[in-house]
Amino acid sequence: MREKPILVTKSTLPPIDEFMEMLQPIWDSAWLTNMGEYHKRLEYELLRYLDVEKIVLFTNGHLALEFVFQAMQLSGEVITTPFSFVSTTHAIVRNNLTPVFCDIRADDYTMNAAHIESLITEKTAAILPVHVYGNLCDVEEIERIAKKYNLKVIYDAAHTFGETYKGVGVGNFGDASMFSFHATKVFHTIEGGAITTSDEKLRLHLDYLKNFGIADQETTLYVGGNAKMNEFQAVMGLCNLRHLEENIQKRKELCAYYREKLDNIAGIVLNTYREDVTYNYAYMPVRILEKQCGFTRDMLFTALCKRNIIARKYFYPCINELDCYKHTFDACLTPTASEISRQIITLPIYPDLEKSVIDEIVDVIRELGKR
């Protein structure tokens, strides 16, 4: 048995010399945060990398999402998905808005746009879909509905850093998109996040909000908070950006290796990849259909744990089944999300994952199937 566990992901780190070299200017200037030189440089590089018009950096992705709702000054209901990380719904609730859960599609786990119109009421203010595991939402249909009912669209794009759809950066869809640069994401700044938008007013509003609503020394325009990205975070981001393409390429190869090995096993449903999307391969989700393969997701999870391979039941439970929400919402209204959350497992994937670990995982799956 291996001593160190294999976790579902492992944070990428740049060569330590690259990071250290960039620290000297911080010591020289003694400028540690509050939109310093590295913050500006990272903003500039991310604008180009994500191919978006405007960007606002934050200390994490969750606060970025909270602030974008505050900036839009919405009230009422927000249609969202229960198949996501809790942050998505928390951002709505913490802004005194009411989440309305829309079920997901079984093929790519994103919000089922065909259900949205039936959930719209007089109180609906916005739609908050999630590009789950890097799978793009039905952005065209969501845009059509949003225009028809005059709703804002904010995408949780935490899983889609650097992806494009039909050659367009994913941060260009909707009124705004949130990216997370958490340590576990494909691109990270230790903790960090951003909002991308084409709306200059929104950009400026967010710039103020993340710094207490302060516009200049004598002017405070809004009741803001504090969610600024500091210079050390920005340095980590600038270093990581240099190695990103190479890391995504490695992830792509590992994903292909998994797919080749798992392709012909009954009851194992792999993620579908579309021709018109460039992916970042952040996750390796697999659905386990008990009837066809003879074992459950939980049995696989446990069998892997015995080998010290810690996969994740991500996302399980669904958000509307979590303790803090289950008494307020009825998960029976989103049956596909509930079912898939019981079948899904995300397997380890990160740039330096050894292929022998994938072989081992595939062996575990084959062994379970034989019983």
Ligand X SMILES: *Cc1c(COP(=O)(O)O)cnc(C)c1O
230 binds ligand X (CB under 6 A): no
Stretch in the footprint of ligand X (CB under 6 A) among 17-25, 60-68, 338-346, 350-358: 60-68
84 binds ligand X (CB under 6 A): yes
Chain centre distance of CA 21: 30
Residue 159 beta carbon to ligand X: minimum distance, rounded to whole angstroms: 6
User: What is the spatial distance between Cα 248 and Cα 243, in angstroms, rounded to a whole number?
Assistant: 9
158 binds ligand X (CB under 6 A): yes
Tell me the per-residue interface mask from 188 to 217 with ligand X, x by CB under 6 A, - otherwise: -----x------------------------
Q: Which is nearer to ligand X, 124 or 180 (CB)?
A: 180
70 binds ligand X (CB under 6 A): no
* CB-count exposure of residue 352 (10 Å: 0-12, 13-18, 19+): exposed
User: What is the spatial distance between Cα 185 and Cα 85, in angstroms, rounded to a whole number?
Assistant: 13
Q: Per the structure block, which two tokens stand in for 52?
A: 């978006």
182 binds ligand X (CB under 6 A): yes
87 binds ligand X (CB under 6 A): yes
Cβ atoms 63, 225 nearer than 8 A: yes
User: What is the spatial distance between Cα 349 and Cα 358, in angstroms, rounded to a whole number?
Assistant: 9
Q: What is the β-pairing status of strands 54-58 and 344-346?
A: unpaired
88 binds ligand X (CB under 6 A): yes
The maximal CA–CA distance of the chain, rounded, in angstroms, is 72
> Could you tell me how many residues of this chain bind ligand X (CB under 6 A)?
14
Stretch in the footprint of ligand X (CB under 6 A) among 120-128, 155-163, 207-215, 300-308: 155-163
User: What is the spatial distance between Cα 347 and Cα 141, in angstroms, rounded to a whole number?
Assistant: 31
Stretch in the footprint of ligand X (CB under 6 A) among 7-15, 85-93, 107-115, 219-227: 85-93
Q: Which is nearer to ligand X, 84 or 196 (CB)?
A: 84
134 binds ligand X (CB under 6 A): no
61 binds ligand X (CB under 6 A): yes
60 binds ligand X (CB under 6 A): yes
Query: Which of these, 42, 69, 70, lies nearest to 56 by C-alpha position?
Result: 42
Strand order in the sheet with 344-346: 268-270, 285-288, 344-346
Residue 370 beta carbon to ligand X: minimum distance, rounded to whole angstroms: 35
66, 77, 103, 156: which one binds ligand X (CB under 6 A)? 156
Residue 177 beta carbon to ligand X: minimum distance, rounded to whole angstroms: 11
One-letter identity of residue 88 = T
Q: Which is nearer to ligand X, 84 or 164 (CB)?
A: 84
Q: Which is nearer to ligand X, 142 or 293 (CB)?
A: 142
Residue 86 beta carbon to ligand X: minimum distance, rounded to whole angstroms: 8
Stretch in the footprint of ligand X (CB under 6 A) among 101-109, 117-125, 154-162, 234-242: 154-162
Stretch in the footprint of ligand X (CB under 6 A) among 81-89, 260-268, 273-281, 342-350: 81-89
User: What is the spatial distance between Cα 229 and Cα 257, in angstroms, rounded to a whole number?
Assistant: 37
Buried b / exposed e over 236-260, threshold 16 CB at 10 Å, is: bbbbbbebbeebbebbeebbebbee
89 binds ligand X (CB under 6 A): no
Contacts of residue 293, defined as CB under 8 A and 6 or more positions apart, other chains included, come to: 265, 266, 267, 268, 368, 369
Residue 58 beta carbon to ligand X: minimum distance, rounded to whole angstroms: 8
Residue 34 beta carbon to ligand X: minimum distance, rounded to whole angstroms: 20
130, 241, 331, 353: which one binds ligand X (CB under 6 A)? 130
105 binds ligand X (CB under 6 A): no
User: What is the spatial distance between Cα 30 and Cα 350, in angstroms, rounded to a whole number?
Assistant: 35
Q: Per the structure block, which two tokens stand in for 118?
A: 């039936």
Buried b / exposed e over 265-292, threshold 16 CB at 10 Å, is: bebbbebeeeeebbbbbbbbbbbbeeee
Q: Contact residues for ligand X (CB under 6 A)?
A: 60-62, 84-85, 87-88, 130, 156, 158-159, 180, 182, 193
